Amino acid sequence: MLEEYKRHHRDVWPEMLDALRRNGWRNYSLFSREDGLLFGYFEAEEDFAAALAGMSGENANARWQEFMAPYFEIPSGAHPDQMMLELEEVFHTD
């Protein structure tokens, strides 16, 4: 289902993009391996928890997460964005 998932992300709903910007999600990228493993990265304007909390109140995000749920292996009733976790940066170069 990876090609279908990619297609949806080429046409992300404008209201979802607005919600991300409104809640401080910057430099947001998704990466995939051939086997379907996904890795997402974004920089939060405030902090990770605030960025997630802001999106949790967005109607567009609730609809998007429901729409994307079939593409993920997640616990029943969970949304993909509830599986996100913060990672510690241990190295960076420009």
Residue 45 contacts residue 24 (beta carbons within 8 Å) = yes
DSSP β-bridge partners for residue 75: none
Q: What is the pLDDT along the chain (94 residues), one digit of tens a residue?
A: 899 999 999 999 999 999 999 999 999 999 999 988 899 999 999 999 999 999 999 999 999 999 998 988 877 777 778 778 888 999 999 8
The full set of domain ranges for the chain reads: 2-83
Ranges of beta strands (E only) in 2-80 are 25-32, 38-44
Taking the alpha carbons at both ends of the chain, their separation in whole angstroms is 34
User: What pTM does this model have?
Assistant: 0.85
The reply to whether CATH 3.40.50.740 applies to domain 2-83 is no
Ranges of beta strands (E only) in the chain are 25-32, 38-44
One of 8, 9, 79, 92 is an active-site residue; which one? 9
Distance between CA atoms of residues 12 and 10, nearest Å: 6
Residue 19 contacts residue 55 (beta carbons within 8 Å) = yes
Active site residue 79: no
